[in-house]
Amino acid sequence: MSRTRGRGRRILSAVGIASAAALAISGCSGSPSGGASAGGDVTLEFAQWWEPELPQGSLASLIDQFQKENPHIKVKLLSSPFSSDQQQMVADAASGQLPDVLGLDGAWVSDFAKQGAIADLSPLLKADNFSEDQLASEVKVNGKAYMIPAVNFVYPLFVNNDLLKQAGVDTVPSTRGEFLDAAKKISALGGNVKGWALPLDTAVPNGIQNDVMSWVWASGGSMLKDGEPDVTNAQVKSGVDYVKSLYDANVLAPGALTMKEQDKVEKFTNGQVGMVIDSLAHISLIKKNNPKLNFTIAAVPSEDGYTGKRGIPYASWGVGVSAKSEHKAEAAKLVEFLMSKDTNAQLSTLANGFPGNKTATPDFSKSDPLFKQAFDIYQAGYPANEFVGLPKSDQLQRTFDENLQKTLTGSQSVDQTLSTVQSAWKSIF
């Protein structure tokens, strides 16, 4: 459906204005969904946060390719940073105003599906003879596929090599003890430099999965037991205790309690933070905004003495279709294009991520060397994000976030926080 979204949505680009010849050709064929007028084209809105994180013009270039192959379909890209996109998506899902094709995060799927806001993709793909066997995974609710992970990203540790060297730290931290030591020494450099950044804005509480629980997963821990909440266990307590020790040591960038993910990325890019846990998707963005920044990536540090495999935090650029779209067949064609072997290989290479089509192979030869380094980290561990597919995932994280802030500011103990979160989570489950 090509209706205008809320005023908070900033349209950064609109691609796909067809030529007169294409209009003439498309006028001879009808729309598969019956949504186009007799002599007109179909216009799809594709809302996502991908474009700002990709090399400039690269997503538009892929969309141009799609439009050449499908001259009766025009695509308008609606692009904004992740946090803004998430807030807009939640509002649009509640009001029934979602655009036709959606960039989705796995944490949103359960709620959107229960609201009836997103469509089951399997019937749409089968109607167009697109084989789901080629997909590496699908995110399902009650057996129905609502999201296809198009590109998968691990969240390793990003380290500013120059700040580490200035602080007298010889090696990238591999354990919690080494990380705390390095964060203290970097913070001691003075000025506006700190060792670590922790985004805990409650409006978009994904800092809980990316920056807090990542310490637990990196040491083989879990927040669930038999599919139910288990946040009072010793592994989670150890992880939260550790985060509090970092906060108490004054090694965090200022404003953690209201910081958003993009703020964390900006501080690292500007050399104000020595280390962050961040998405591979931001490699291109960081290098574009500060080509001189000398940084590397590594696995998230584990507990001292831990020798098992490390859980690697990950997130996906998922794709789905609005249940209210008037052009579902055309929307499915765009999904199929993004998930096709060649396009998916291009997209994952551009994004420094891993493909969602299991037959696609990213081009390591032309991609940033950090991509291959991340792939080695990924192979040495296992993907870990227990929030994917949970009911009201954002609310689970927000509850954890609100109580963690009380612990960090000294008004509630770690045990009280975890007990409160456990009870709240059980009521949601």
List pLDDT tens digits, range 351-402: 888 889 989 988 877 777 888 888 888 878 888 889 987 888 889 999 999 9
User: What pLDDT score was predicted for residue 40?
Assistant: 56
Q: What class is the 20-153+315-369 domain?
A: alpha beta
Q: Residue 274: helix, strand or coil by DSSP? A: strand
Say which residues have a Cβ less than 8 Å from residue 214's Cβ, sequence separation at least 6. 155, 277, 300, 311, 313
Residue 6 gets the label, from left (phi > 0), alpha (psi -120 to 50) or beta, of beta
Q: For residue 263, with 0-12 CB atoms within 10 Å meaning exposed, 13-18 middle and 19 or more buried, which class applies?
A: middle
Give dist(CA 384, CA 224) in Å, integer.
Answer: 12
**Which token pair is 295?**
């940084």
pLDDT in tens, the chain (429 residues): 433 443 333 333 334 433 333 333 333 333 333 344 434 599 999 999 999 989 899 999 999 999 999 999 999 999 999 888 888 999 999 999 999 999 999 889 988 999 999 999 999 999 999 999 999 888 888 889 999 999 988 899 999 999 999 999 999 999 999 999 999 999 999 999 999 999 999 998 999 999 999 999 999 999 999 889 999 999 999 999 999 999 999 999 999 999 999 999 999 999 999 999 999 889 988 999 999 999 999 999 999 999 999 998 888 999 999 999 999 999 999 999 999 999 999 999 888 888 899 899 888 777 778 888 888 888 788 888 899 878 888 899 999 999 999 999 999 999 999 999 999 999 998
User: What pLDDT score was predicted for residue 39?
Assistant: 42
User: What pLDDT score was predicted for residue 389?
Assistant: 78
Say which residues have a Cβ less than 8 Å from residue 325's Cβ, sequence separation at least 6. 1, 44, 98, 99, 100, 101, 119, 331
Element (H, E) at 257: none
3-state helix, strand, coil split of the chain in percent (to 5) is 45, 15, 40
For residues 222 and 230, the answer to whether their CB atoms sit within 8 Å is: yes
User: What pLDDT score was predicted for residue 13?
Assistant: 38
User: What pLDDT score was predicted for residue 29?
Assistant: 34
Give dist(CA 69, CA 6) in Å, integer.
Answer: 31
Q: Domain spans of the chain?
A: 20-153+315-369, 157-277+391-428
DSSP state of 208: I
Give the architecture-level CATH label for domain 157-277+391-428: 3-Layer(aba) Sandwich (3.40)
Give dist(CA 5, CA 8) in Å, integer.
Answer: 8
**Which token pair is 373?**
């380094």
Give dist(CA 101, CA 252) in Å, integer.
Answer: 38
Record the pTM: 0.72
User: What pLDDT score was predicted for residue 18?
Assistant: 35
User: What pLDDT score was predicted for residue 352?
Assistant: 81
User: What pLDDT score was predicted for residue 47?
Assistant: 97
CA-nearest of 132, 65, 136, 128 to 359 is 136
Give dist(CA 295, CA 278) in Å, integer.
Answer: 12
Other Cβ atoms less than 10 A from the Cβ of 30: the count is 14
Judge if 20-153+315-369 and 157-277+391-428 fold alike in CATH terms: yes
List C-alpha distances in Å: 15 to 100, 173, 322: 15, 44, 20
